[in-house]
Chains A and B, each alone.
Chain A
């Protein structure tokens, strides 16, 4: 009983302290964001910084290695396979993003009109984006099969080719095939993003322009496009980041072959760091992509600020 009485003031004091903490806006703010900060720090900042650190070491699997400065980067600059991977990545991302933008924009303009079954079409066009990448990659693996390709079968049926097409055996054809698969998967992202932008354009502007005698091209050039630019930039930047970092499609369909013709940063980094065991060098391959991604993020940030 005595002990209970003695503990009561302590409990009251603790409650008072907790109460004052809740009253303190700064402390409460930090307490509220702490879980998010912890998650970001543990699962984003730490792995990222560790990756950057590893790129400056000769670390191997099960061997922490030592600091080697820029040695990994020097090595990579002189490495033909890495240089090929850089070219592949630029080509892959450049061509795929442009095609995705053009096709996505066309699709967005199309489904922005009123027609029967509009909602169904809008939902259906998202399918390539919704399907797990690994699954769609497996489908393309079959579509591009050198002996059993359905695409070849169709081309043969219509008389366009008379023999099997070597989609993944020829370097340029393999690159083109993978770009086509990426475009198929990525067009809905552009279409939906740009469609959302198109929906925000006030209809009155079009009506006013029409009364002033503006034709479809003039309305697009002077109304739609200027108002859509911020959204288009953001969508393009996000898509570029995702395309540059692509891994699953390449790994499942070609594993970077034939003869490294389709290696991107991600697949080469994985091959060297995890399969080859050279963590430092693999990390350096991944870190090389940072300037590209940072430039993309800066662009997006600028576009978002302009939108504000």
Chain B
């Protein structure tokens, strides 16, 4: 830490005045983060003559997302003369499309996808180290998980720009939690796995079961089982990304805990896909589940009495003593077949700058959590106290490949639901804890060996 006693020079005065003015201007968007903007050296990429861009991204989760994103793109076009065509796919379908593009060397210039995607075709991407470093410098640095997803040791460069993460939190009914004898205030919501289990049991005993997906639910299934596994110290693979470490007492503890939790769940969760828990929660069939902020949106629109009676909380911390959450991490990357790499980088810079990014994230009403620390003060996180647990999603998360690194093997393990199936097997009793772990170990061995 440096303590400086500086003279107030004219330059310093002008600089501070400009900083204050920009902070005031940006506060209209709730962008106090902008205060730090003038601290960093500006960066622009000279766009190629006649450039145009195709962007493939996930479909909007909330209706306000698309208009703002396209408005940002239109303003980019006005500023640079580069036309931008944005194409949308359901979030689970972005990867197949990007895979086809990577394979044939033709398609969108920029893809905004999820998880390991850039690492599946790392050598087909334009390095974006300069842009990543610039954004990190300018906006208070990236959260710890970001370089793990964005940086490629194979390329020795950043190959993707983290965009953010649709966060997942515990969604619960306030009145039922109170009825079960617990304080529904998110600040006093059970913070340890033991207390959490006690709450779930109390809810079930009062006829309000919980519900956590154990089917092939890409988002809801993966997020809670990985949290549970890591909370007890279990992990699929060692940091060497080679040694399979799933067969451990910690994993067994996690599965035993999940079995106890399963007893508090509503019947049918073994077949649940992603939408099931939303419907069950809104129908009042379950009192507690894990989800993004979408249930709250739907409730605000169609079931205001449920919106008033629900809140969100962080996942509790397990014996490892720190947050072990998994969220759906999104990042943007540029294929190297593009004829306009500078235009593509300039576009990514443009959408990540505070004015554009702030509007976009604020407009998504808390669905996506930011990857850059300076955006922690965005207006959306102060607009409604019920948004707050989603704010820190990226800050609290681990990569799905933990303790290994993102790449083809981790992508495959996630795509094959290895961890979800292990939990489903153990919870439903199809396999003993021991056999469920062995089956997962066998599959992980094959995946990481190949």
Q: Which residues of A contact B (CB under 8 A)?
A: 58, 60-63, 75, 79-81, 144-148, 163-164, 166-171, 174, 254-260, 271-272, 274-278, 281
**Which residues of chain B are within 8 angstroms of A63 by Cβ–Cβ distance?**
121
Inter-chain contact A148/B279, CB cutoff 8 Å: yes
CB-CB contacts of B401-425 with A at 8 A, as 1s and 0s?
0000000100110011100010011
CB distance from B240 to the nearest CB of A (A): 21
Inter-chain contact A260/B421, CB cutoff 8 Å: yes
CB distance from B367 to the nearest CB of A (A): 23
CB-CB contacts of B265-293 with A at 8 A, as 1s and 0s?
01111111100100110010100000000
Inter-chain contact A145/B99, CB cutoff 8 Å: no
**Which residues of chain B are within 8 angstroms of A168 by Cβ–Cβ distance?**
215, 268, 270-271
B185 at the interface (CB under 8 A from A): no
B214 at the interface (CB under 8 A from A): yes
Inter-chain contact A61/B216, CB cutoff 8 Å: no
B439 at the interface (CB under 8 A from A): yes
What are the nearest 9 A-B pairs in CB distance?
Answer: A146-B268, A168-B271, A169-B270, A255-B216, A62-B121, A169-B271, A62-B102, A276-B412, A275-B415
Inter-chain contact A259/B267, CB cutoff 8 Å: no
CB-based nearest B residue for A60: B408
Question: Given A146-B276, A147-B283, are A163 and B216 neighbors across the interface (CB < 8 Å)?
Answer: no
Inter-chain contact B412/A278, CB cutoff 8 Å: yes
**Which residues of chain B are within 8 angstroms of A276 by Cβ–Cβ distance?**
411-412, 415-416
CB-based nearest A residue for B96: A274
CB-CB contacts of B34-67 with A at 8 A, as 1s and 0s?
0000000000000000000000000000000000
**Which residues of chain A are within 8 angstroms of B99 by Cβ–Cβ distance?**
61-62, 274, 277
Question: Given A62-B99, A254-B215, are A166 and B442 neighbors across the interface (CB < 8 Å)?
Answer: no
Inter-chain contact B416/A272, CB cutoff 8 Å: yes
CB-based nearest A residue for B286: A147
- Give the distance in Å from the alpha carbon of A144 to the alpha carbon of B215 in the complex: 14
Inter-chain contact A146/B416, CB cutoff 8 Å: no
- Give the distance in Å from the alpha carbon of A79 to the alpha carbon of B266 in the complex: 32
Question: Given A255-B215, A259-B430, A275-B95, are A166 and B412 neighbors across the interface (CB < 8 Å)?
Answer: no
**Which residues of chain A are within 8 angstroms of B276 by Cβ–Cβ distance?**
145-147
B446 at the interface (CB under 8 A from A): yes
Question: Given A62-B102, A276-B412, are A256 and B285 neighbors across the interface (CB < 8 Å)?
Answer: no
B120 at the interface (CB under 8 A from A): yes
- Give the distance in Å from the alpha carbon of A173 to the alpha carbon of B266 in the complex: 17
Inter-chain contact B268/A166, CB cutoff 8 Å: yes
Most buried by B among A145, A257, A272, A278: A257
Inter-chain contact B425/A255, CB cutoff 8 Å: no
**Which residues of chain A are within 8 angstroms of B408 by Cβ–Cβ distance?**
60, 277-278
B90 at the interface (CB under 8 A from A): no
Most buried by A among B96, B271, B276, B424: B271
Inter-chain contact B424/A258, CB cutoff 8 Å: yes
CB distance from B263 to the nearest CB of A (A): 15
CB distance from A39 to the nearest CB of B (A): 20
Inter-chain contact A167/B266, CB cutoff 8 Å: no
11 further contact pairs, Cβ within 8 A, besides A146-B271, A255-B215: A61-B99, A75-B446, A79-B443, A147-B279, A163-B267, A164-B268, A257-B273, A259-B270, A259-B424, A277-B408, A281-B450
User: Which B residues between 416 and 450 are near A, CB-CB below 8 angstroms?
Assistant: 416-417, 421, 424-425, 428, 430, 439, 442-443, 446, 450
B103 at the interface (CB under 8 A from A): yes
- Give the distance in Å from the alpha carbon of A146 to the alpha carbon of B279 in the complex: 11
Interface of A is mostly: loop
**Which residues of chain A are within 8 angstroms of B215 by Cβ–Cβ distance?**
168-169, 254-255, 257-258
CB distance from B331 to the nearest CB of A (A): 17
CB-CB contacts of B109-121 with A at 8 A, as 1s and 0s?
0000000000011
Contact among A146, A254, A258, A272 for B267, CB-based, below 8 A: A146
CB-based nearest B residue for A170: B270
Inter-chain contact A174/B271, CB cutoff 8 Å: yes
Inter-chain contact A147/B268, CB cutoff 8 Å: yes
CB-based nearest A residue for B285: A147
Contact among B103, B271, B280, B283 for A258, CB-based, below 8 A: B271
Question: Given A58-B450, A62-B121, A276-B415, are A80 and B268 neighbors across the interface (CB < 8 Å)?
Answer: no
B124 at the interface (CB under 8 A from A): yes
- Give the distance in Å from the alpha carbon of A147 to the alpha carbon of B273 in the complex: 13
Inter-chain contact A271/B415, CB cutoff 8 Å: yes
User: Which B residues between 80 and 96 are near A, CB-CB below 8 angstroms?
Assistant: 95-96
Name 24 interchain pairs, CB-CB below 8 A, sorted by A: A60-B120, A62-B123, A145-B279, A147-B266, A163-B267, A164-B267, A166-B267, A166-B270, A167-B271, A168-B270, A254-B273, A257-B216, A257-B271, A257-B273, A258-B216, A258-B424, A259-B424, A259-B430, A260-B421, A271-B415, A272-B416, A274-B95, A276-B416, A278-B408
- Give the distance in Å from the alpha carbon of A80 to the alpha carbon of B412 in the complex: 16
Inter-chain contact A61/B103, CB cutoff 8 Å: yes
- Give the distance in Å from the alpha carbon of A275 to the alpha carbon of B113 in the complex: 13
CB distance from A148 to the nearest CB of B (A): 7
CB-CB contacts of B245-280 with A at 8 A, as 1s and 0s?
000000000000000000000111111110010011
CB-based nearest A residue for B123: A62
Inter-chain contact A81/B443, CB cutoff 8 Å: yes
Contact among A81, A147, A163, A277 for B280, CB-based, below 8 A: A147
Inter-chain contact A171/B450, CB cutoff 8 Å: no
- Give the distance in Å from the alpha carbon of A292 to the alpha carbon of B268 in the complex: 34
- Give the distance in Å from the alpha carbon of A171 to the alpha carbon of B431 in the complex: 13
CB distance from B193 to the nearest CB of A (A): 24
CB distance from A3 to the nearest CB of B (A): 41
Contact among A80, A275, A278 for B450, CB-based, below 8 A: A278
Most buried by B among A80, A81, A148, A259: A259
CB distance from A275 to the nearest CB of B (A): 4
CB-based nearest A residue for B421: A259
- Give the distance in Å from the alpha carbon of A170 to the alpha carbon of B214 in the complex: 11
CB distance from A43 to the nearest CB of B (A): 16
Most buried by B among A79, A81, A163: A81
CB-based nearest A residue for B95: A275
**Which residues of chain A are within 8 angstroms of B417 by Cβ–Cβ distance?**
257
Question: Given A147-B279, A277-B120, are A254 and B102 neighbors across the interface (CB < 8 Å)?
Answer: no
- Give the distance in Å from the alpha carbon of A272 to the alpha carbon of B283 in the complex: 35
CB distance from B224 to the nearest CB of A (A): 15
CB-based nearest B residue for A260: B421
- Give the distance in Å from the alpha carbon of A79 to the alpha carbon of B411 in the complex: 18
Inter-chain contact A148/B120, CB cutoff 8 Å: no
Inter-chain contact B267/A169, CB cutoff 8 Å: yes
Contact among A80, A144, A254 for B216, CB-based, below 8 A: A254
